[in-house]
C-alpha cells in the first residue's frame, strides 16, 4: 500500500515549480491532494497530470496573502475530501534587490505571502490537524540560510518561517502534530528562465553545489516531503531538512 493512502494534503502554490513537484509526489504515494494558487491554468495542468497517473486532486484558486482565501482553501479541502492530514506552505512572492534598495513595501509583500500566510494557514488548519494527528511542512530557503546577496526580504521571511515552525513543533507536539521545514535548491520556472537567458551561469551554479546540479522538484524535493510526512518519519519534528545538494556547505 502507498505510504499516504487515505490521507489528504493541501499544497499552496502547487501549480508550478517545487509546489507542483510536491503535489505530484504526495499523490503518487496515495494522498488526495488539494493544490492552490493564483493561476487557474497551472493548477488545472497539475491536477490533470495527477489524474492521468491515477491520483485524486482538487484545485482552489486564491492568494495566500489574503486571509479569506486561506480560510477558503482549508474549508474546501475538508469539504472535498473529509479532512486534512498534511499542510504544505509552499507559496511565496518576493522581490530580489540589494539590501540598501529594498523597500518596506518589498518586505511587506514578502511577509504577507510567506510567514504571515503560513501562520494563518496553520491556525486555520489546526482543528483538522488535531483530528488527524497530522503534519505541517513549511518552506524555508538555502538562500536565506546562506545570507545570499540581493535576497534581503526573502531571507527575512524564510527565516521567520523557520522560527514559527520551531514554536509550532514545540506547542503542537502534544496533539501529535509534527512541524518541519525544508530548504530546497531546485529547478523552478524562474530558475529555468534565468539559465536559458544566461547559459554560461549553469556551470558556475553547478560548482556551487557538491552534488553538481539543482534538484528536481518532484524526484528530489517532492519525494523527500512524501517521506517526511509519512509514518516512516513519525519521530521527527522541529527540524530543518536542507534539500540543496550540499550547497550550504560551500557558502
Please list the active-site residues: 154
Residue 36 DSSP symbol:
E
Q: How far apart are CA 25 and CA 94, in angstroms?
A: 25
Q: How far apart are CA 126 and CA 86, in angstroms?
A: 11
**Helix (H) or strand (E) segment spanning residue 11:** strand 8-12
Q: Which residue has the cell 518561517?
A: 161
203 alpha-carbon distance from chain centroid: 27
Per DSSP, the residues of 72-139 read HHHHHHHHHHS---EEEE-------B-GGG--HHHHHHHHHHTHHHHHHHHHHHHHHHHHHT-EEEEE
Q: Are strands 240-243 and 57-61 parallel, antiparallel or unpaired?
A: unpaired
Amino acid at each position: 500500500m502507498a505510504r499516504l493512502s487515505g490521507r489528504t494534503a493541501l499544497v499552496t502554490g502547487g501549480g508550478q515549480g517545487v509546489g507542483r513537484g510536491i503535489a505530484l509526489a504526495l499523490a503518487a504515494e496515495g494522498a488526495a491532494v488539494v493544490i492552490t494558487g493564483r493561476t487557474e491554468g497551472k493548477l488545472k495542468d497539475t491536477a490533470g497530470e495527477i489524474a492521468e497517473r491515477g491520483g485524486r486532486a482538487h484545485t482552489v484558486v486564491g492568494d495566500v496573502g489574503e486571509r479569506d482565501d486561506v480560510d477558503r482553501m482549508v474549508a474546501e479541502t475538508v469539504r472535498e475530501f473529509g479532512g486534512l492530514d498534511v499542510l504544505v506552505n509552499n507559496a511565496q512572492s518576493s522581490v530580489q534587490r540589494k539590501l540598501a534598495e529594498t523597500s518596506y513595501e518589498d518586505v511587506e509583500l514578502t511577509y504577507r505571502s510567506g510567514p504571515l500566510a503560513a501562520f494563518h494557514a496553520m491556525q486555520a488548519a489546526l482543528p483538522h490537524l488535531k483530528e488527524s494527528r497530522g503534519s505541517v511542512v513549511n518552506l524555508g530557503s538555502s538562500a536565506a540560510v546562506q545570507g545570499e546577496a540581493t535576497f534581503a526580504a526573502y531571507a527575512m521571511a524564510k527565516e521567520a518561517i523557520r522560527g514559527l515552525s520551531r514554536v509550532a513543533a514545540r506547542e503542537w507536539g502534544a496533539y501529535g502534530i509534527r512541524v518541519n521545514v525544508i530548504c530546497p535548491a531546485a529547478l523552478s520556472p524562474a530558475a529555468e528562465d534565468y539559465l536559458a537567458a544566461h547559459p554560461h551561469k549553469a556551470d558556475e551554479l553547478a560548482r556551487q553545489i557538491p552534488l553538481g546540479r539543482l534538484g528536481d522538484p518532484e524526484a528530489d524535493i517532492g519525494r523527500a516531503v512524501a517521506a517526511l510526512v509519512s509514518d516512516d518519519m513519525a519521530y521527527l519534528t522541529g527540524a530543518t531538512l536542507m534539500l540543496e545538494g550540499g550547497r550550504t556547505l560551500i557558502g
